[in-house]
Amino acid sequence: MQSKKRKSSDLSKKIRAFINSPAGLPILAGVCGVLVVIIIACVVIAVRSSAAQPDSSSASWSEPADDSSYDAEAGKVNKEEFTGTILPGTEDAGQEYLDETLFIGDSNTARYMYYGPDDNSDVHFTTIENTVGVVSAGVQNITSLKWEHFVGKGEMTIPEIVEVMQPKRIIISFGTNNLTMETDTFIDYYSKGLEAIHEAYPYADIIVSAIPPLDKERSNTNLSMKQVDRLNTAIVEMCEEEGYKYLDTSEALEDPETGWAKKDYTLTLDGVHLSKEGARALFEYIRTHAYITEDTRPKPLKDIPKINGVTPGLITQDPIGLRGPSVPVEISASEGGHIVGETSQSVKKGQQTSEITAVADEGWEFSHWSASIGFIDQQETIRFTVPGDADANGVFITAHFRQKEAEPTPSPSPSPSPSPSPSPS
């Protein structure tokens, strides 16, 4: 025991002697510096790896047993039985057709205002002037919920909104948030809601859109295409009986072989909400399955009060269990530039996206960023922090650019003309 104590004492003396030597302190400082650098590097790596929180549900997804028995043909709408109700193909009716249509629905409908036909454009499929969409809304909310606020009018139900907005036609799409509802209950709500809309403004054509298909690898496996097919069949039967038109958008969105949504047509986060690619296919289908009739609206149309939009957080319950810690973040560029970085991300609320950079094309320069919700920095390269109140619609971020002013071309200076020499007399 005494021998061990002497060895420990000798070692301590040697360490103190080394530290007090001329070379000891610099060496010790260098070792400490290396340790500090290593610690900082570890912290930076940890922060960066946690900035963007990708949803891991698809990686751990396993097919429910019920999916294996799904028949892609068995539950689909028989088009031959509903000729005259299901809208046939037409010539492309163009953007004008969309502009004079009022779109009503749930979060998929709300997302129409953020998608457009071209990545490098500020033009979107719809605007607040012709879109009424609420996250988690269903058929039971058509007449019971105060959807939007109008200046001087207050908040209104869907029938009241239609009466004020006086649309030429309506495309209405509900059902995704009603997939677990009994068919008879669903149709009863839908039928009464459509009747209330027609009574409020009988001059608008009413088109009922199919419930969009689910991706097979959806986050909530309690939702199924059997449910979608069941309700779509009931919807087209209702339209046939009550005189509405049916827009069979499943033709554009479904994979005909599997019956599920086509690849990349829904968000990978949940397999339910339409992606940018899915929305583009949808609107091409809408334009090429147009329903144009004589405009019987009383003229002149009344002035439409200013729309303040949908009240945030209007519906707090999630009927199909899609609201979670992560939300979709989609990044795009307007005309004059492009994005470097991942343009479609799934990020936890309160966390940051991975790094994205706005890069201007030749002859253009970066102007600013805009975000559908939250605060956003204005440097070319940013990491966006997702607000804690973000909902299933997620966040849409756009980089904007402006054309550089052309530098004026200097006018050439005129060369002085030589003075003529006088002729000798």
DSSP 136-163: T--GGGTTTS--EEETTTEEE-HHHHHH
Residues 6+ apart with CB under 8 A from 321: 220, 222
Instruction: Give the tokens for residue 312.
Output: 């945030």
- Burial level of 227, CB count in 10 A (0-12/13-18/19+)? buried
Q: Model confidence over 315-324: pLDDT tens digits?
A: 877 777 665 6
Q: Where are the domains of the chain?
A: 65-310, 326-403
Pairwise CA distance, residues 212 & 37, whole Å: 53
Per-residue pLDDT, 156: 96
Name the residue with higher pLDDT: 280 or 408: 280
Same fold, 65-310 and 326-403: no
Per-residue pLDDT, 270: 87
Instruction: Give the tokens for residue 367.
Output: 């102007």
Is 60 exceeded by the pLDDT of residue 338? yes
Task: Kindly report the average pLDDT of the chain as a whole number.
Answer: 85
Helix and strand numbers (H, E) in the chain are 9, 15
What is the arithmetic mean of pLDDT over 298-309?
Answer: 95
Pairwise CA distance, residues 62 & 151, whole Å: 49
> Hey, which residues does 397 pair with through a beta bridge?
331, 371
Contact 106, 136 (CB under 8 A): yes
Q: Quick one: pLDDT band at residue 245, thresholds 50, 70, 90?
A: very high
Q: Model confidence over 369-421: pLDDT tens digits?
A: 988 778 888 899 999 998 887 776 778 888 889 998 876 666 666 666 666 66
Helix boundaries (H) for 166-215: 183-200
Contact 371, 343 (CB under 8 A): no
| DSSP string across 372-387 | SSS----SSEE-PBPP
Pairwise CA distance, residues 128 & 403, whole Å: 27
**Class of domain 65-310 as given by CATH:** alpha beta
- pTM beyond cutoff 0.85: no
Contact 389, 135 (CB under 8 A): no
Q: Topology of 326-403 in CATH?
A: Ubiquitin-like (UB roll) (3.10.20)
Position of tokens 């086509």? 262
Q: Quick one: pLDDT band at residue 138, thresholds 50, 70, 90?
A: very high
Per-residue pLDDT, 262: 97
Per-residue pLDDT, 44: 45
Is 70 exceeded by the pLDDT of residue 48? no
Per-residue pLDDT, 108: 94
Distances from the Cα of 76 to the Cα of 22, 70, 72, 210, angstroms: 87, 11, 7, 11
Pairwise CA distance, residues 126 & 28, whole Å: 66
Pairwise CA distance, residues 125 & 123, whole Å: 7
Q: Quick one: pLDDT band at residue 72, thresholds 50, 70, 90?
A: confident
Per-residue pLDDT, 49: 45
Pairwise CA distance, residues 191 & 224, whole Å: 23
Is 70 exceeded by the pLDDT of residue 136? yes
